[in-house]
């Protein structure tokens, strides 16, 4: 098997399995472990994979975006901590925007007993609030993306543009000091960008793995956010780099 074919298979395995390990890959592809390590280095350089201890995980690109099912299994304990800390930042807000993604769904579960009006593009968040007696849910219309179970395109953007929101909880596929917040899909970026514009306060909820990564479409600058809530897994020095741009970084 030539290197290009082998590397393509490694990317495919990473995207379907969520993670690949050096030693099992070497056995499966009948090559030396050093060959796999070189392949992973090449694929990381192409921004298709991200090296982690013992292997690699897929990076999200225009051609690949992880599913809600995958997101609900990765960094789960960290995401629960992030959601709990994020809810503490409501500070009396009455209207809330919840972004697509698994962490906003966790936030929805934690605010189900509050007196709030929640606007969301996420079917997952709306479902979590469906039986609440105290939360009024406004679900944005539009084209539903099966991968994330969220609505996009002009129906979602135009309706959201007419609203004034107290606080928006937003996620991201990547965040860097240089390029801000990014996501692979232009339609998703348009909804997120609109939420940034209509919200008085913006709070980013993102696992530590999102930091240092970039995707195709920028939808906000780091300085647009009042707070960034992430896991304690993010190094303190890295958190300080983002705080220097304006937001407080809460590591939980």
pLDDT tens, the chain, 252 aa long: 899 999 999 998 988 888 899 999 999 999 999 999 999 999 999 888 888 889 998 887 655 666 666 666 667 899 999 999 999 999 999 999 999 999 999 999 999 999 999 999 999 999 999 999 999 999 999 999 988 999 999 999 999 999 999 999 999 999 999 999 999 999 999 999 999 999 999 999 999 989 998 999 999 999 999 999 999 999 999 999 999 999 999 999
CA dihedral sign, ordered 105, 106, 112, 114:
negative
Residues contacting residue 247 through CB under 8 Å, at least 6 positions apart: 204, 222, 223, 225, 226, 227, 228
Q: Is residue 64 within 8 Å of residue 32, measured between CB atoms?
A: no
Residues in the chain: 252
- Greatest Cα-to-Cα distance within the chain, rounded to the nearest angstrom: 60
Domain at 3-58: CATH code: 1.10.10.10
With residue 150 as reference, give the H or E element that holds it. strand 150-152
State the Cα angle at 149 between 148 and 154, rounded to 5°. Answer: 95
Of 192, 161, 197, the C-alpha closest to 175 is: 192
Distance CA 230, CA 207 (A): 5
**Contact present, 101 and 84 (Cβ < 8 Å):** no
Residue 180 C-alpha from the chain's centroid: 13
- Beta carbons within 8 Å of 92's beta carbon, 6+ residues apart: none
Can you give the pLDDT at residue 64?
A: 61
- What are the boundaries of each domain within the chain? 3-58, 68-251
Fold identical between 3-58 and 68-251? no
Domain 68-251: CATH class, spelled out: alpha beta
Please choose, from the candidates 63, 217, 109, the residue with its C-alpha nearest in 3D space to the C-alpha of residue 120. Answer: 109
Tokens, residue 96: 């809330």
Q: Name, in order, each residue with C-beta under 8 angstroms of 133's C-beta and a sequence gap of 6 or more.
A: none
């Amino acid at each position: 098997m030539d290197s290009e074919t082998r590397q393509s298979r490694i990317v495919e395995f990473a995207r379907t399995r969520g993670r690949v390990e050096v030693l099992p890959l070497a056995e499966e592809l009948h090559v030396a472990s050093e060959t796999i390590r070189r392949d992973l280095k090449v694929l990381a350089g192409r921004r298709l994979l991200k090296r982690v201890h013992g292997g690699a995980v897929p990076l999200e690109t225009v051609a690949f975006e992880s599913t809600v099912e995958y997101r609900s299994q990765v960094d789960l304990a960290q995401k629960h901590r992030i959601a709990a800390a994020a809810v503490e930042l409501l500070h009396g807000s009455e209207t809330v925007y919840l972004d697509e993604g698994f962490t906003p769904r966790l936030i929805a579960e934690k605010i189900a007993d509050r007196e709030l009006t929640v606007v969301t593009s996420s079917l997952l968040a709306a479902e979590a609030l469906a039986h609440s007696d105290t939360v009024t849910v406004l679900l944005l219309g539009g084209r539903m993306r099966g991968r994330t179970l969220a609505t996009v395109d002009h129906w979602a953007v135009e309706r959201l543009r007419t609203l004034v929101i107290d606080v928006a909880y937003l996620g991201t596929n990547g965040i860097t000091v240089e390029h801000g917040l990014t996501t692979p899909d232009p339609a998703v970026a348009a909804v997120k960008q609109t939420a940034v514009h209509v919200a008085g306060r913006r709070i980013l909820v993102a696992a530590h793995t999102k930091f240092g990564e970039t995707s195709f479409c920028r939808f906000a600058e780091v300085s647009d956010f009042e707070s960034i809530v992430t896991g304690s897994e993010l190094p303190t020095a890295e958190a300080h780099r983002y705080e220097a741009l304006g937001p407080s970084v809460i590591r939980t």
